[in-house]
Amino acid sequence: MSSAHNPAVGNAKIVVVLGAGGFVGKNLMLRLAERPAEFHGIGLTRSTPSEVATRALVGGDVIINLAGVNRPQDDGDFLPGNAAPVEQIIAALSNAGRAVPVIHISSSRAVDGTPYGMSKLAAEQMMLAFAG
């Protein structure tokens, strides 16, 4: 439920942050918490149950995707690790018929042809196709 319909957050914008457990995500959550009249941050991590994450995504006013994998044990884990958060966003918003701003953070390495870069590029392409 967006902030327009959620009296618990007043007029604050609900900002859903995927990757809230990472370095950038933790710091973003701290900054959002410093401005409670403007923002209500909801942090999602790999351990967030799927149904909880879906409710948060559908209820957000804006989604920031910082999630991804950059040091897996196997190169084959790059693509699912970097595509899964995008797939989760797309499924949640599509199924709910919601259109909200999504800020997708990728990598400058998305063009370098490495397994990591190719996985980040694939996630970018999925997000761009969803945006239309």
**Active site amino acids:** 116
Hey, is 113 helix, strand or coil?
coil
Q: Per DSSP, which regions of the chain are E strands?
A: 13-18, 39-44, 62-65, 102-104
Which contiguous run of DSSP H or E holds residue 123? helix 115-131
Residue type, 29: M
User: What is the torsional sign of CA 6, 7, 13, 14?
Assistant: negative
What residue type is assigned to position 45 of the chain?
T
Residue 132's Cβ-side half-sphere holds a number of Cα atoms within 13 Å equal to: 3
